[in-house]
Amino acid sequence: MTMTLVLARMGIFIIFLMTAAWQDLKAKQIRIWVLCLAGMAAVVFQVLTVFMALYTGEESVVRPMIMAGGAALYGDGSGTGSVWEVCLPYLSGLLPGVALLVFSWLSQGIGTGDGCFFLVSGLLLGLADNLLLLCGAVFSSGLFGLGYYVFHCVNRCQNRNNNQKRKMGIGKTELPFLPFAVVPGIGIVVSRLVQMGILVL
Q: What's the pLDDT tens digit per position in 119-154?
A: 999 999 888 899 999 999 999 999 998 888 887 777
**Residue 53: which residues within 8 A CB-CB, separation 6 or more?**
61, 62, 65, 81, 82, 83, 85, 86
Exposed, middle or buried, 168 (CB in 10 Å: 0-12/13-18/19+)?
middle
What predicted TM-score, i.e. pTM, was given to this entire model?
A: 0.80
Model confidence pLDDT, tens digit, residues 82-129: 566 667 777 888 999 999 999 888 877 678 999 999 999 999 988 889
pLDDT at 33 over 50: yes
pLDDT of residue 66: 53
C-alpha closest to that of 49 among 37, 66, 30, 34:
66
Model confidence pLDDT, tens digit, residues 61-70: 455 555 555 5
The percent of residues above 90 in pLDDT, for the chain, comes to 39
Exposed, middle or buried, 16 (CB in 10 Å: 0-12/13-18/19+)?
buried
Question: What would the mean pLDDT of 6-35 be, rounded to a whole number?
Answer: 93
pLDDT at 2 over 60: yes
**Residue 195: which residues within 8 A CB-CB, separation 6 or more?**
67
